[in-house]
Chains A and B, each alone.
Chain A
Amino acid sequence: MSDNFAKVDAIVKKYDRNPSKLIGILQEAQEVFGYLPEEEMTYLANQLGISPARIFGVATFYAHFTLSPKGKYLIRICDGTACHVKKSSDIIAALFKELGLNEKKLTSDDGLFTIELVACLGACGLAPVMVINEKVHGQMTPDQALALVREIKASEGGN
């Protein structure tokens, strides 16, 4: 744990202990820890001289932050207007079914996949769009989406 606190210290130092840079600090913390763990965030509040409530207030306000660990593969499915018109909802339904997920439960039991629905990835020319860990897949169909997920499952199962 003290190890993690040292990591928080390093981030705080980089941002000059400046609470007005909280969003950048949380972004970096999430990159380090994969999510925003409660104990480390309380420690961070102490270091910045602000209340933990303010940190959790900010962390829960923005869609980008998460308070629980995410899957190894983050699948972001775009449900922006252009993707919606091109039937992204069919892709969402197919992947929810495949991974046993729903709108309330977004990380699979094996910890491999997290599905995130995003409002627009700005790649509307390629609608519908899905992003798996930064790699953008355009003009998707439910079948192609399932194939990608099954491919990952197979490669993970092989290890």
Chain B
Amino acid sequence: MSINLENIAASFNERMDQHKYRIMICGGTGCIANGSMEVYEKFQEVIAAKGMSVSVQLDKHESDVVMSCSGCQGFCQRGPLVTIYPEGIFYTKVKASDVEEIVEETLVKGNIVERLLVVDAETQEHIKHVHEVPFYTRQNRIVLENCGHIDARDIEDYIAKGGYVQAKRAVLEMTDEEICQKVLDSGLKGRGGAGFPTGLKWTFARKAVSEKKYIICNGDEGDPGAFMDRSLMEGNPHAVLEGMIIAAMGIGASEGHVYVRTEYPLAVERIKLAADEARRMGFLGDNIFGSGKHFDIFIMEGAGAFVCGEETALMSSIEGKRGMPNPKPPFPANKGLFGYSTTINNVETLASVPIVLAEGSTYGQLGTENARGTKTFALTGNVVNTGLIEVPFGATLRQIIDDIGGGVVDDDGTVKPSNFKAVQIGGPSGGCLTPEHIDLPLDYAGVQKVGAIIGSGGLVVMNHQTCMVQIARFFMQFTQNESCGKCVVCREGTKQMLDLLDDIIEGRADENTIPLLEELAYAVQDGALCGLGKTAPNPVISTLRYFRDEYEDHVFNKHCAAGRCKALANYVINPERCKKCSLCMRTCPNGAISGSREEGYRIDPAKCIKCGACQAACKFGAIEVK
């Protein structure tokens, strides 16, 4: 029996048209943390109290108002987000206490609650509709398009947006060769970090001789500061599954696994639900789309190991072993999970597959010559609009940080465009971009040339109060913690590098420290077994490349310009601000502060243990770090 997707879409749309209003509430991790579920419940309560009928989208009842719960809409800084359709009125930072007013003014009277609208930073005008908000209009949301516009729990919503059409075509109409060729022609490259052409990867697996073949979706998004894959799995899980079905047809796989981080409980829940729904509809399991073919997907939760993002380690983990990498070759395409041919793709890559496969897709026309299409980035750190964004390859930091991100925030709260010290890109395997790269088109080759990688897409903006040695130490601590310990170079090398960085930060470094650190960095890069080990020194190499002065200032002058290295800090009392209250003297645990109410107070640098207690105690901000 063939499945008629058009009928499902038409009946879904017809049902949605019966509702006078559709209220879409963001149910991403960020908005839920800010209380969006309370808002969701409050709406139902208040609407019912006003005498209108209200239903929840999943219940599929007739009513005046229908409540939908989307995945992450990306504008996390302004959450919880509420959009009221058909008009698309966009309210931000909505609390349960605002709901009464929204229902009365907007739903009953048709007015706008102005104080909840986004204000344009340039024109100071209130922006009424979601499709006019600069944060969104300045992006190119294609892969993320449905994230935030559909109820992720409702498979029919996804079908109504054209979902599963490509999967059906791939299953019923296309040959494996056609699928691989189409993906190859689109220029799609792996979005997980390495940027390997997806179509080529699939072709290797397609040609591999193996009794059984697997497709794995790598949702072990371990890079700290990245949440693109989480948002996709939460907001549009069916796109990921559709991508997997297409991949399975392309390579001839009969079984798929989605490996999700255990730190993402909501993503686990949504993708499990999505797989159950797809199975119920006959898109997974036996006889998919009435084709007689078998393909099913299993969801597995990780258990908290960064190294499992590496594909051979990930497969060990699925097999129930310690997640340690194995040397390649053999490549997974030839000998992977349980010894069979296996293809591993990243979440975002798989979610892009239905888009590139669509007839007349213009996706491949976006981007640059060596990187076609768009890329999602997690924009975080010292920037006004933190959140999830999508731009074509070739976009610049100026566009991302200033136009979309709204500028850089200093520690004292002032916002200035482009005023960043560095942008960390690509997580612990990546590097730094500096203000000199502000107009560099971001694509795989361009970023690699300046010593960083696009990586999975974490962009952490850092202001001038950030110490770059501390940042390098932060990543080294991370990779050292997460080193699986299999190869000596990574296990011991990262440990020694971390110790050297501690020497620099704590004032014990001498003229040999930096050369030794560099030597070790290149040794680890050359000698480590897996990709994670090989790239672990990158943050150190990259910060040394662009901020060598700062390292040398720490080593030779025992000075941290950012004032973040406590052991190098020199606490002094500013006599102009000091009110001579003596609180600092009484707080100091080491008796380093002396003086009197008449003369004022002094800190004896020889006795000071640099604990910062006096600074925390002073009510007048008179204690400064020099």
Contacts and interface: CB of A to CB of B under 8 A. Distances in A.
A141 interface: no
A120 B225 contact: yes
B474 interface: yes
A23 B381 contact: no
B304 A63 contact: yes
Given A58-B320, A119-B478, A126-B76, A82 B380 contact: yes
Q: Which of A22, A57, A122 has the most CB of B within 10 A?
A: A122
B550 interface: no
B383 to A, nearest CB: 10
Nearest to B76: A125
A8 to B, nearest CB: 16
A112 interface: no
Given A24-B301, A85-B382, A86-B381, A123 B317 contact: no
A99 interface: no
A58 B321 contact: yes
B301 A127 contact: no
Contacts of A124: 76, 225-227, 378, 380, 386, 458
Interface stretch (B108-116, B247-255, B257-265): B257-265
B224 interface: yes
Interface string A91-115: 0000000000000000000000000
A5 B464 CA distance: 57
B460 A62 contact: no
Nearest to A142: B616
B314 to A, nearest CB: 12
Contacts, number: 143
Q: Which of A119, A120, A137 has the most CB of B within 10 A?
A: A120
B136 to A, nearest CB: 15
Interface string B260-283: 011111000000000000000000
Contacts of A75: none
A52 interface: no
A24 B222 CA distance: 19
A137 B482 CA distance: 25
B461 to A, nearest CB: 8
Interface stretch (B6-14, B27-35, B348-356, B589-597): B27-35
Nearest to A80: B224
Given A61-B484, A81-B424, A119-B222, A136 B262 contact: no
Contact of A21 (B230, B304, B320, B382): B320
B158 interface: no
Contacts of A80: 224-225
Interface string A38-54: 00000000000000001
Give the bracket for the number of chain A residues in contact with chain B: 35 or more
B402 interface: no
Q: Which of B262, B324, B462 has the most CB of A within 10 A?
A: B262
A71 interface: no
Interface string A9-30: 0000000001111111011000
B386 A82 contact: yes
B33 A126 contact: yes
Contacts of B225: 80-82, 120, 124
A26 B29 contact: no
Nearest to B382: A85
A135 B320 CA distance: 29
A137 B33 CA distance: 6
Given A85-B381, A122-B263, A134-B265, A62 B303 contact: yes
A64 interface: yes
Given A27-B303, A64-B303, A82 B388 contact: no
Interface of B: 29-30, 32-34, 76-77, 79, 221-227, 230, 261-265, 300-306, 317-324, 338, 378, 380-382, 386-388, 424, 427, 458, 460, 462, 466, 471, 474-475, 478, 481-482, 484
The 9 closest A-B pairs by CB, nearest first: A125-B76, A80-B224, A81-B225, A136-B33, A63-B304, A62-B303, A22-B320, A82-B380, A122-B227
Given A64-B302, A120-B227, A127-B386, 6 more contacts: A85-B382, A122-B264, A125-B380, A125-B388, A127-B380, A136-B29
